Structure 1
Amino acid sequence: MTLTLKNGSKTYPDGTVALIPTDLHVQPGEIISLLGPSGCGKTTLLRLVAGLERPDKGAEIWFGEDNVTDYPVEKRKIGMVFQSYALFPNMSVRRNIAYGLKMQKLPQAEIDRRVDEVLSLCRLEPYADRAITALSGGQRQRVALARAFAPRPRILLLDEPLSALDAALRDQLRDELAGLLRSFKITAIFVTHDQDEAMAIADRVVVMSHGRIMQIGTPEELYRNPKSRFVAEFVGHAMELSGKADGRRFVTEGGTLELSEDGTDKSVFVRAEDVRIDPQGSLTAKVEGVTFLGTHYRLTLSGLGRERLYGQHFGQSAPSVGDDVKISINPSALMLLPKEANAE
């Protein structure tokens, strides 16, 4: 099922603009993430698609060839998974999944068949007769997904589905959620503020800020080719280098870098994983801090500009605080963005 949003916007009675006019097209079976900080408009967009909010005049929402703009939520035939999962604690797993099907007044044989189908798909057969209160957080998430999918919705909407879990479990279930969504073969949109979650699960990511879409692309496109300061900093925590470009040379306080293209009137950004200690490096910096993170050391570096820079160091030992070190950055790792993007 395709989803098309045309000129979708939302202004509340007090004048607050939650979403400026926005267009979005989602292909059948595609998994889309709405990514951004709190208040960026991602949940508002999801609620417009769901029918939980009315868009401003002039908006159109299409499910395939069906204009659902004026449909109430119960007629849109969507599935929803909330942060809290909203499961019935007094019911078994099987009865939770069957609830929506009973509301559709389906024959009991069809209800049983669909419940068995999603129990198998979500690997919940061993827990079918258990109470919700006897399940782990990950198992409850699977029940919520199974219940949302059992009525065979046209589109599945997920609002921060992993945020209620602790960090370790959230990381563990990220890949599981991606696998389940793809096994459903259904168009899905999920809201998150976690870039790792968005990039691990989605086919395409919609990065939002202040009620508008900043950039849409695959995780790789957004990471490697951000179009604005906001996207560069939000997706991958890119850092701006202080200095001045002179053609394909970039001069900083700590030395000169080669650029892959003319950097005139551009801002230069780099990510920590591309800032490396190298005895042959062209930059000189001072180590201000060292943090051991298991797979690598995170270095805080000064002497390269107004702001401190972070780098990664792999090895059995790291430089000491106060050491002067040589730094190299591959020109291909530097991101050149228009200076006007600084306004983001």
Structure 2
Amino acid sequence: MTLTLTNIAKTFPGGTKALLPTDLEIAKGEIVSLLGPSGCGKSTLLRIVAGLETPDPGAKIVFDGENVTQQSVETRKIGMVFQSYALFPNMSVRGNIGYGLKMQKLPRAEIDARLEEVIALCRLEAYADRAVTALSGGQRQRVALARAMAPRPRVLLLDEPLSALDAALRGQLRDELAILLRQFGITAIFVTHDQDEAMAIADRVAVMSQGEVAQIGTPEALYRNPATGFVARFVGNAMPLSGRIHADQLHLPGGVLALPRHAEGHDVLVRAEDIRITAQGPITAHVETVTFLGTHYRIALAGASDAPLFALHTGLSAPAPGAEVRLSIAPEALLILPREVSA
């Protein structure tokens, strides 16, 4: 199902603008993530699509050519998965999944057929007759997804579906959720503040800031070609390099860096994986802390720029805290972006 959002905005009583006018086009079967910090408007946009929130006048929500802007949440045929899963504790897995089908008053044979279909797809056969209270967090997440999919909704909305899980399980379930959504082949929007989750699951990511979409694109496009410093910082944790720009050089407290082009009037940012600790680098820094993370070390560096920088260092050993090191950054690895005006 295609989903077209036009001029979607939300102003709360008192004048607070939670969402500025937003347009979004989502293709049939596409998975789009709304990514951003708390308070950026992503959950408000999701709730408007669901019919749980009324947009400002002038908004238009179209499902497959049908204007549903004035329709109630019940008639929009939306599937939703919440952070809390909102499962019925007094029902079995099968009872939870079949609840929506019973509310639709479908024939018993059709209910049973759909139940078996989604239970198999979500790999819940071994748990179908168990109480949901006896399941792990990951199993409950699959039940919530199966329950949302059983009525065959036109679009699936997911609001922070993995945030209630611990870090180790969240990584495992993130990949599982990406597989399941593609198996369902359904148009889906999910809200998250976790960039890894958004990039692992979504076909396209809409990065939101202060009530509007700052940039939308594939995960690769956002990472490699961020349009603003905010997007660069939020997708990939880019760090600003504060110094004086003269033509194609950046003069930093720790030395001078070559830039890929003239950059007056712009901000320069770099990601941790692009900072190299080398014997002959043009930048001097001091090691503040060293954290071993298994595949690499995360090294905090002072003195190179006004704010501390972090480098990801591979190898069997790392410089000790307090050591003076030299840094190099390839010019093509630097992000040259329009200067942001402080609010």
**Is residue 343 of structure 1 aligned with residue 342 of structure 2?**
yes
4+ residue runs of structure 1 moved beyond 4 angstroms?
none
* Distance across 1 between alignment mates of 2:104 and 2:325: 68
CA deviation map 1:190-246 (0-9, x unaligned)? 011111111111111111111111110111111111111111111111111022222
Determine helix, strand or coil for the equivalent of 1:263: coil
Determine helix, strand or coil for the equivalent of 2:74: helix
Deviation at 1:271, TM superposition (A): 0.7
Gaps of 5+ in 2: none
**Is residue 188 of structure 1 aligned with residue 188 of structure 2?**
yes
* Distance across 2 between alignment mates of 1:96 and 1:28: 28
Gaps of 5+ in 1: none
Equivalent residue number for residue 9 of structure 1 = 9
Deviation at 1:338, TM superposition (A): 1.1
Deviation at 1:342, TM superposition (A): 4.3
Equivalent residue number for residue 227 of structure 1 = 227
Q: 282-291 or 198-207: which moved more?
A: 282-291
Equivalent residue number for residue 70 of structure 1 = 70
* Distance across 2 between alignment mates of 1:134 and 1:309: 46
CA deviation map 1:96-147 (0-9, x unaligned)? 1111011111100000000100011111111111111111111110010001
- Match of 1:192, as an amino acid? T
* Distance across 1 between alignment mates of 2:322 and 2:166: 37
Determine helix, strand or coil for the equivalent of 1:24: strand
Deviation at 1:78, TM superposition (A): 0.6
Instruction: Give runs of aligned pairs for residues 41-190 of structure 1, distance below 5 A.
Output: 41-190=41-190
- Match of 1:137, as an amino acid? G
* Distance across 1 between alignment mates of 2:290 and 2:166: 27
Equivalent residue number for residue 210 of structure 1 = 210
Instruction: Give runs of aligned pairs for residues 16-35 of structure 1, distance below 5 A.
Output: 16-35=16-35
* Distance across 2 between alignment mates of 1:148 and 1:305: 49
Q: 211-220 or 278-287: which moved more?
A: 278-287
How many residues align? The count is 343
* Distance across 2 between alignment mates of 1:227 and 1:317: 36
* Distance across 2 between alignment mates of 1:343 and 1:45: 26
Deviation at 1:305, TM superposition (A): 2.4
- Match of 2:229, as an amino acid? R
Equivalent residue number for residue 296 of structure 1 = 296
Q: 51-60 or 293-302: which moved more?
A: 293-302
Equivalent residue number for residue 256 of structure 1 = 256
* Distance across 2 between alignment mates of 1:189 and 1:140: 20
Tell me if the contact between 1:278 and 1:328 (Cα under 8 Å) persists in the aligned partners.
yes
* Distance across 2 between alignment mates of 1:278 and 1:6: 51
Tell me if the contact between 1:229 and 1:342 (Cα under 8 Å) persists in the aligned partners.
no
Determine helix, strand or coil for the equivalent of 1:47: helix
Deviation at 1:343, TM superposition (A): 3.4
- Match of 1:222, as an amino acid? L
* Distance across 1 between alignment mates of 2:291 and 2:96: 46
* Distance across 1 between alignment mates of 2:99 and 2:76: 18
Q: 279-288 or 98-107: which moved more?
A: 279-288
Determine helix, strand or coil for the equivalent of 1:74: coil
Determine helix, strand or coil for the equivalent of 1:75: coil
CA deviation map 1:19-55 (0-9, x unaligned)? 0111111111000111111111000000000000000
Determine helix, strand or coil for the equivalent of 2:290: strand
* Distance across 1 between alignment mates of 2:270 and 2:119: 46
Equivalent residue number for residue 305 of structure 2 = 305
Equivalent residue number for residue 197 of structure 1 = 197
* Distance across 2 between alignment mates of 1:34 and 1:161: 13
Instruction: Give runs of aligned pairs for residues 230-241 of structure 1, distance below 5 A.
Output: 230-241=230-241
Please give the TM-score of this superposition, normalised by the length of structure 1. Answer: 0.97
Tell me if the contact between 1:242 and 1:304 (Cα under 8 Å) persists in the aligned partners.
no
Please give the TM-score of this superposition, normalised by the length of structure 2. Answer: 0.98
Equivalent residue number for residue 247 of structure 2 = 247
Deviation at 1:262, TM superposition (A): 1.7
Instruction: Give runs of aligned pairs for residues 253-332 of structure 1, distance below 5 A.
Output: 253-332=253-332
Deviation at 1:315, TM superposition (A): 1.4
| RMSD of aligned residue pairs (Cα, Å) | 1.1
* Distance across 1 between alignment mates of 2:198 and 2:291: 26
Change (3 A) 1:36 1:191: same
